[in-house]
């Protein structure tokens, strides 16, 4: 497998909070199929990053943010083969917000959704950068870890 067009793919993610819980999705497709993560996906041609984040959040969870999205971080995920060749390169732009009313449900490329307490995140075996982004999002929105 090679990187499509030899260019990084732009992905967006949303760290969505309800009370002191963060919304996680279990992915059905690569990259990271079967793993838990924040809702997100690829930006489409002609779509703004904010529009992509809102669309992906709704497609994967049925939820929308309550208010504006706040930028948290930009992360590069570069996977290499054993010989050093780049297999995939995603530039991930992550936002955060509080959730609007509604019930989360899996959709798009998510097979399950879960509201997780911040203290329980280690049990989901999240990618280390995802854990860092969630912690920063909680700090920016003033969400305190449950004790």
Q: Is the CB of residue 140 less than 8 Å from the CB of residue 96?
A: yes
What tens digit of pLDDT does each residue of 5-28 get?
678 999 999 999 999 999 999 998
DSSP H or E segment with residue 133: helix 128-141
Position with higher pLDDT, 65 vs 147:
65
pLDDT of res. 60: 96
Domain boundaries defined on the chain: 4-140
Instruction: For residue range 81-102, list pLDDT tens digits in order.
Output: 999 999 889 999 999 999 999 9
Q: Dihedral angle at the C-alpha atoms of 66, 72, 74, 75, nearest 10 degrees?
A: -100
Count the helices and strands in the chain (H runs, E runs): 2, 7
d(CA 2, CA 11): 17
CA distances from 118 to 1, 23, 135, 136, 139 (A): 35, 10, 8, 12, 12
pTM: 0.89
Specify the length of the chain in residues: 147
Burial bucket for residue 81 (CB in 10 Å: 0-12, 13-18, 19+): exposed
Residue 146 pLDDT > 90: no
Is 3.40.50.1100 the CATH classification of the domain at 4-140? no
How high does pLDDT run on average in the chain?
A: 91
């Amino acid at each position: 497998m090679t990187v499509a067009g030899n260019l990084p793919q732009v992905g967006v993610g949303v760290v969505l909070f309800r009370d002191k819980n963060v919304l996680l999705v279990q992915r059905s497709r690569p990259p990271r199929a079967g793993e838990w993560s924040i809702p997100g996906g690829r930006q489409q041609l002609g779509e703004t990053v904010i529009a992509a984040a809102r669309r992906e959040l709704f497609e994967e969870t049925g939820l929308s943010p309550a208010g504006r999205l706040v930028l948290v971080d930009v992360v590069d995920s570069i996977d290499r083969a054993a010989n050093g060749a780049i297999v995939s390169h995603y530039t991930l732009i992550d936002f955060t917000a509080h959730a609007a009313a509604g019930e989360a449900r899996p959709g798009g490329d998510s097979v399950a959704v879960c509201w997780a307490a911040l203290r329980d995140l280690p049990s989901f075996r999240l990618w280390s950068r995802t854990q860092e982004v969630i912690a920063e999002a909680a700090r920016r929105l003033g969400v305190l870890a449950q004790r």
